[in-house]
């Protein structure tokens, strides 16, 4: 816990950087007091290509957030989101014999250490050890302590990352005098906001489609069973539109936001849309909606087909009863949920942040940053329990957002 | 899950926190800059304050004198004219005296006479305005208006679209008092690559005078050809006629001329040589050449063609009829 109780959530995405500043009070309430948002620079597919440009943007967003919070140079601790195709996830199982009749704390620690004893490569560091349920003589248990059995097993979903990428990422907050308290994989941070405990128990897939990459996390029986990153995101849709319609990226982005749909409808055949030239309100061109939607749906379908293939049998409907939740900036693309439902063969919805988050931060593009604050609060998956907390939290947040 | 992640503290070996050292930059605090000036420093400080006060007093005096002089001048110039005052109005365009009165009307009658010229010229359709007060008190207003050469569509801040006209100097204006028929007969601007620059509260398209010359020549010398033009695309015109690859692309209306020439969905002109190209296109031999060509080719395979007049006639540059460059296009460039 930071000494001064001020903590920043820094979500550095390919297209935008969001910084939230939270004040963690003594009774473990979260008060969001600052917001900074800037278009990112120097990143591609979630990884830093130009350190100076990336640093400049993050520092500016951080300064904006501090300014909104009425603080300057007071926030010295941060939680950072982590994404990119360098992230890899594996499942490691550890086991031990129970020393006495009942499982003791020592037995549990021994099993845990056995699962974590695998060494990663020298150029890779572990970012998350996400524990899965205990198995005592083959029986799944949430807590094995004092249970009777002979053989205890525990597994971890372990996410590791490339050393260079981590060093580059840490350099950004460190260079402005901010200590990174933890790094959280984007999909897990987003899931903390958009999926509640019931969904995770029933099995839910959280897909965070950002500008450059798509992160996903699969929960089953309340535990993370798989995570992954696909180096395809919303920017690829823009790029496809620019190439397919022979227009500039700016025009393509505008079409994507205003007119594009992730499936082809019956009314698209002869419908056209008017698009202003070069971002100017003067003059313009008409495009067939069918052409636009054909390009967009092909790319979106590809993203979900890759996820489905990677999940394999874990992604089948009976294991993912709560369906899929789409979040991230691209989640706002019209018809994305229908396209995802068709490709994943799962009930799909666009994620909504909990209702204690006021309208300004309710969009899916803020899920990751809000999730980071939840991690900072130490509540993690308990994010959905916030409304049950005393009404003071809502009051503070609303007070800030209605400046 | 977060509580499970906290297990990482028990596993120091491979976790990033235990293998990566963070070198947090030390930022200067306000205490780093506090200093206690000595006696000499204190004296210098007071001297500087005195000089600053004298300088501020001097500037305040200058500003007061300037404000007084300006108020005197302004009171001379700002003699308001009465709303009912007679106006002698002339215009070389379509704007009327009524429009002038409405434009100049304000709660206190007409604005000061110096403002009238500025306010009239702030309307994009007005190229220049001459405003005089005659000895008998009549206000003489003469307007020189911009003439439209093309039309376009703009997107308004509320998301709706509205038609606009473009003058020969590239200024975009509303087209006050200009009839629907005039709008309809003008070719449509298409494919503008660069956003217009703002000048005196209205938008101007750079390098448009060459486009206006092209359209004026077509309208005045070759009205039969010009009448069939629906759109002129500036997609390949960066604003300079001598820019590499600069072209004017014209899309004719459906069923232009004859069934043969109707297959031509685009005519390409060079911004530097369009006079000769228009002349060649207007020759009767050209129409006959197109007709023969169209009958010779398999129209079922390629139903649409682009006529590129910008390509130089290498075979015989002296021949006034350019060599025919009809290029099949797979997708028709125009829409019904």
- Rounded to two decimals, the ipTM of the complex is 0.72
Q: How far apart are CA A268 and CA A273, in angstroms?
A: 10
Name the one residue in this structure whose structure tokens are 């698009």: A275
How many percent of chain A have pLDDT more than 70? 91
- In this structure, are residues B251 and B266 in contact, taking their beta carbons and an 8 Å threshold? yes
The per-residue pLDDT for A382 is 38
Contact B205 A282 (CB under 8 A): yes
Structure tokens at A112: 């845990």
Question: From CA A377, how far away is CA A77, in angstroms rounded?
Answer: 13
The answer to whether B314 faces chain A, any CB pair under 8 Å, is no
Distance from CA of A49 to the nearest CA of B (A): 21
| Chain A positions in Cβ-Cβ contact with residue B194 (cut-off 8 Å) | 278, 280
Contact yes or no for A282 and B1 at CB 8 A: no
d(CA A368, CA A329): 10
* Cα dihedral A340→A342→A345→A347 (10° resolution): 60
CA distance B243 to chain A (A): 19
Q: Which of A313, A305, A149 is nearest to A225 (CA)?
A: A313
Residue in A233, A214, A300 with CA at minimum distance from that of residue A264: A300
Residue in A with minimal Cα distance to B10: A113
Looking at residue A258, its pLDDT comes to: 87
**Could you check whether A88-162 and A187-351 share the same CATH topology?**
no
pLDDT at B183: 85
Residue pair B134/B87 in contact (Cβ under 8 Å)? The answer is no
Name the E strands within chain B.
Answer: 87-91, 126-133, 139-145, 148-155, 161-167, 172-173, 188-190, 197-199, 202-204, 229-233, 248-252, 264-269, 305-308, 326-328
Q: Which letter does DSSP use for residue B25 in this model?
A: P
* pLDDT computed for residue A395 by the predictor: 46
Q: Is B221 on the interface with A (CB under 8 A)?
A: no
For residue A160, list chain B residues with Cβ-Cβ distance below 8 A. Answer: 14
Q: Please indicate whether, in this complex, the C-beta atoms of B5 and A380 are within 8 angstroms of each other.
A: yes
Handedness of CA A48, A52, A57, A62 (dihedral sign): positive
**Phi, psi angles (nearest 5°) of residue A400:** -65, -45
Which residues of chain A register pLDDT less than 70? 1-4, 276-283, 379-403
- Out of 3.90.1010.10, 3.10.20.30, 3.30.1490.110, 1.20.120.530, the CATH code matching A88-162 is 3.30.1490.110
- The CATH number given to B87-145 is 3.10.20
* Start-end of CATH 3.10.20 domains in chain B: 87-145
DSSP H helix total and E strand total for chain B: 10, 14
Q: How far is the C-alpha of B1 from the C-alpha of A382, rounded, in Å?
A: 9
B272 touching chain A per CB within 8 A: no
pLDDT at B335: 43
Q: Which residues contact B110 (CB under 8 A, 6 or more apart)?
A: B80, B81, B82, B83, B85, B104, B116, B139
What residue ranges do the domains of chain A occupy? 6-76+359-401, 88-162, 187-351
Q: How far apart are CA A136 and CA A116, in angstroms?
A: 18
- What are the DSSP calls for B247-265, one per residue? -EEEEEPTT-SSTTGGGEE
| B297 Cβ neighbours under 8 A, 6+ residues apart | none
> What DSSP line would sit under A344-379, residue for residue?
HTS-EEE----TTS-GGG-SGGGHHHHHHHHHHHT-
A17 to chain B, minimum CA–CA distance in Å?
A: 21
* Helix ranges, A213-335 (H): 234-245, 249-258, 289-311
Q: Which residues of B touch A282 (CB under 8 A)?
A: 152, 154, 164, 172, 189, 192, 195-196, 203, 205
Query: Coil, strand or helix: which one is A304?
Result: helix
Contact B251, B331 (CB under 8 A): no
Q: Could you tell me which chain B residue has the CA closest to the CA of A167?
A: B20
Q: Indicate which of A176, A177, A281, A386 best probes the interface with B, i.e. most B CBs within 10 Å of its own CB.
A: A281
The tens place of each residue's pLDDT in chain B, 336 residues long, gives 444 444 444 455 678 887 778 877 766 554 444 434 444 445 556 777 788 888 888 888 888 888 766 665 554 444 444 456 688 899 998 999 888 888 887 646 556 677 888 889 889 999 999 888 888 878 889 999 999 999 988 877 787 888 899 999 999 998 898 888 888 889 999 888 777 776 667 888 888 989 999 999 999 999 988 988 889 998 888 888 888 888 999 988 765 455 566 678 889 998 988 998 898 888 888 888 888 887 877 767 777 888 888 876 555 656 666 667 778 776 544 443
Q: List pLDDT tens digits, range B42-69.
A: 555 677 778 888 888 888 888 888 876 6
Task: Report the CATH number of the A187-351 domain.
Answer: 3.30.420.40
Helix, strand, coil % over all residues of chain B, rounded to 5 = 35, 20, 40
How many angstroms away from the CA of A229 is the closest CA of chain B? 18
The verdict on a CB contact (< 8 Å) between B10 and A112 is yes
Q: Chains A, B: CB contacts under 8 A, how many?
A: 132
| Residue appearing with tokens 């999926």 | A195
What is A6-76+359-401's CATH number? Answer: 3.30.420
């Amino acid at each position: 816990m930071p000494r001064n109780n001020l903590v920043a959530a820094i979500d550095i995405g390919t297209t935008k950087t969001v910084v939230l500043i939270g004040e963690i009070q003594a009774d473990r309430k979260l008060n969001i007091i600052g917001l900074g948002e800037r278009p990112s620079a120097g990143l591609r597919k979630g990884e830093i290509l130009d350190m100076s440009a990336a640093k400049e943007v993050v520092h500016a967003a951080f300064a904006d957030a501090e300014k909104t919070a009425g603080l300057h140079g007071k926030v010295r601790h941060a939680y950072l989101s982590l994404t990119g195709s360098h992230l890899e996830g594996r499942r490691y199982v550890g086991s031990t014999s129970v020393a006495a009749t009942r499982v003791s704390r020592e037995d549990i620690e021994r099993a845990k250490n056995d699962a974590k004893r695998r060494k990663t490569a020298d150029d890779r560091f572990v970012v998350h050890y996400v524990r899965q349920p205990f198995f005592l003589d083959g029986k799944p248990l949430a807590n094995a302590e004092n249970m009777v059995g002979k053989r205890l097993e525990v597994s971890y979903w372990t996410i590791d990352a490339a050393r260079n990428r981590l060093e580059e990422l840490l350099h950004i907050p460190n260079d402005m005098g901010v200590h990174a308290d933890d790094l959280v994989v984007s999909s897990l941070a987003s899931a903390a906001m958009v999926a509640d405990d019931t969904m995770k128990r029933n099995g839910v897939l959280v897909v965070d489609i950002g500008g450059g990459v798509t992160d996903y996390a699969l929960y089953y029986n309340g535990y993370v069973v798989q995570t992954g990153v696909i180096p395809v995101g919303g920017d690829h849709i823009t790029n496809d539109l620019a190439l397919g319609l022979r227009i500039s990226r700016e025009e393509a982005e505008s079409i994507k936001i205003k007119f594009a749909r992730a499936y082809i409808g019956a009314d698209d055949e002869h419908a056209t849309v008017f698009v202003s030239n070069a971002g100017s309100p003067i003059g313009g061109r008409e495009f067939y909606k069918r052409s636009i939607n054909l390009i967009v749906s092909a790319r979106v379908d590809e993203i979900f087909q890759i996820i489905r293939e990677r999940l394999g049998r874990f992604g089948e409907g009976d294991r993912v009863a709560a369906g899929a939740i789409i979040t991230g900036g691209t989640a706002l693309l019209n018809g994305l949920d229908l396209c995802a439902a068709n490709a994943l063969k799962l009930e799909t919805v666009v994620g909504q942040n909990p209702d204690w988050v006021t309208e300004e931060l309710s969009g899916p593009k803020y899920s990751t940053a809000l999730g980071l604050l939840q991690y900072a609060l130490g509540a993690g998956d308990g994010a959905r329990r916030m409304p049950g907390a005393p009404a003071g939290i809502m009051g503070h947040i609303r007070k800030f957002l209605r400046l | 899950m977060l509580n499970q992640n906290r297990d990482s503290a028990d596993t120091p070996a491979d976790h990033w926190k235990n293998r990566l050292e963070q070198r947090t930059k030390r930022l200067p605090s306000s205490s780093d800059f506090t200093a206690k000036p000595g006696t000499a420093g204190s004296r210098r400080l007071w001297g500087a304050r005195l000089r600053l006060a004298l300088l501020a007093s001097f500037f305040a005096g200058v500003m007061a004198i300037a404000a007084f002089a300006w108020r005197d001048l302004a009171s001379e110039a700002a003699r308001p004219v009465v709303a009912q005052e007679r106006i002698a109005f002339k215009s070389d365009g379509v704007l009327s005296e009524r429009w002038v009165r409405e434009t100049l009307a304000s709660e206190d009658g007409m604005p000061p006479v110096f403002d009238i010229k500025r306010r009239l010229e702030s309307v994009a359709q007005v190229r220049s305005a001459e405003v005089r007060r005659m000895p008998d008190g009549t206000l003489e207003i003469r307007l020189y208006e911009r003439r439209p050469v093309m039309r376009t569509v703009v997107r308004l801040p509320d998301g709706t679209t509205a038609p606009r006209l473009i003058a020969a100097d590239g200024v975009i204006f509303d087209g006050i008092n200009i009839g629907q028929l005039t709008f309809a007969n003008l070719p449509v601007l298409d494919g503008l690559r660069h956003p217009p620059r703002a000048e005196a509260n209205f938008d101007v398209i750079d390098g448009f005078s060459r486009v206006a010359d092209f359209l004026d020549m077509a309208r005045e010398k070759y009205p039969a050809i010009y009448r069939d033009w629906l759109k002129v695309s500036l997609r390949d015109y960066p604003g300079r006629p001598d820019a590499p690859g600069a072209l004017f692309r014209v899309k004719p209306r459906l069923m232009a001329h004859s069934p043969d020439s109707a297959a031509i969905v685009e005519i390409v002109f060079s911004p530097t040589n369009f006079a000769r190209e228009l002349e060649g296109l207007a020759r009767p031999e050209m129409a006959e050449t197109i007709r023969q060509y169209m009958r010779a080719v398999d129209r079922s395979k390629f139903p649409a063609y682009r006529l590129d007049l910008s390509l130089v006639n290498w075979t015989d540059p002296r021949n006034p009829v350019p060599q025919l460059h009809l290029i099949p296009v797979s997708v028709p460039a125009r829409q019904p």
